[in-house]
Amino acid sequence: MKQMAETKPPTRLLTLDLMRGYFMVAIILNHLQWYPSGLDWVSAQGALFVSAAEGFFLISGIILGIIRGRKLIAAPFKKAASLLLMRGVQLYIASIVLMLIFTLLGWWFFIDNPGLKPGIRPVDQPFTEVLWGALTYEYIYGWADFLRLYAIFLLISPLALWLLRIGKWYVLLTLNILVWMLFPFATGLPYSNELLMPIAWQFIFFGGMTIGFYWQSIVQWWNTRKRALRSVIIKTIVTLAISTILANVIIAMHSLFPAAIGEPLNTLRLTLEPYFNKESLPIPRLALFALWFSFGFWLFKTFEKRIVTYFGWILIPFGVNSLYVYILHAFLVFFAQLLLQGATPPFFLSLFGSLAVLGLILLAIRTKFLMKVIPR
């Protein structure tokens, strides 16, 4: 892969922007949890063994590898590293501020509201303890909690970038695997699995960063394979992906079937769930994610023009401004749940409410609402 140092850095990849936009829409709908709404098909009500969040982090890593890695390959390492660190500090501060805002709002105005998101610290706990917990990421709260993962990964990404720039991608991959393998041992610490997520999820992010850094090389390698071989690989991926997605949807929607079918499906779901744990990212979940993401990339790349024509109006702005969208959605979901006091609205209200939330975020993008303040 060392020959990659001479390749020209790619321009922005529309396919990845479209995919990330789709993932953001899915994340928003899953956090609202207003089902059925007619939009259940977007992500099967968030009940699949793989979530949109994995795709978001992989694409974020890929784009980082392209923009801060390959594109700045001729620039001094100090420049690229400083850009990564500044971005990491910005997101770290943003994540802390959001956690504190949601906590104080909950304490002062909504502590007795059934729709208040669980997990808030007790009202009588000293604020200094809450602040310290937020600063050390021992306390996470609100609907933007994944922002902390992004901040952590960005703050340690200069090390990954350095290894990539000197051609030691295999060292980075080895470190990623070793850290990922630490998760079962870390569960013995006095922290919840949710707090330990960075140990496992770094594998996806830095895996994406490595892919992005060598993107042109990967594309060139793929294009030089024989057409027959590429056809076989694509057909295999598409067949396996569609089969497993349909199977997972059937399992996830077990409650819609008669008891004679639904109960065995639910038993199967409960049996399989430990192998697809979201916090630890075990091998079956990583493998299924790799399969589905590969299929998704092929699908979005193959039908890119049609997707842009029919859905580009929302997917492109959501994908390009993903962090901005993610932060805005955190506030909208927070207050939407409070407004309905945690209840699930009827079908038409669920549909209207979901579309309204998506519409408000799109309007905010169009009007550049607080874009100078909220990270993009």
In which residue are the tokens 């980075």 written?
A: 172
Q: pLDDT tens digits for 33-77? A: 998 899 998 988 899 999 999 999 999 999 999 999 999 999 999
CB atoms within 10 A of CB 173: 15
Q: pLDDT tens digits for 82-103? A: 999 999 999 999 999 999 999 9
Q: Which burial class, exposed, middle or buried, applies to 12 when counting CB atoms under 10 A from its CB (0-12, 13-18, 19+)? A: exposed
Q: Which burial class, exposed, middle or buried, applies to 357 when counting CB atoms under 10 A from its CB (0-12, 13-18, 19+)? A: buried
Q: pLDDT tens digits for 190-221? A: 888 899 999 999 999 999 999 999 999 999 99
Residue 142, phi-psi category: left (phi > 0), alpha (psi -120 to 50), beta (remainder): left
What per-residue confidence (pLDDT) applies to 52?
96
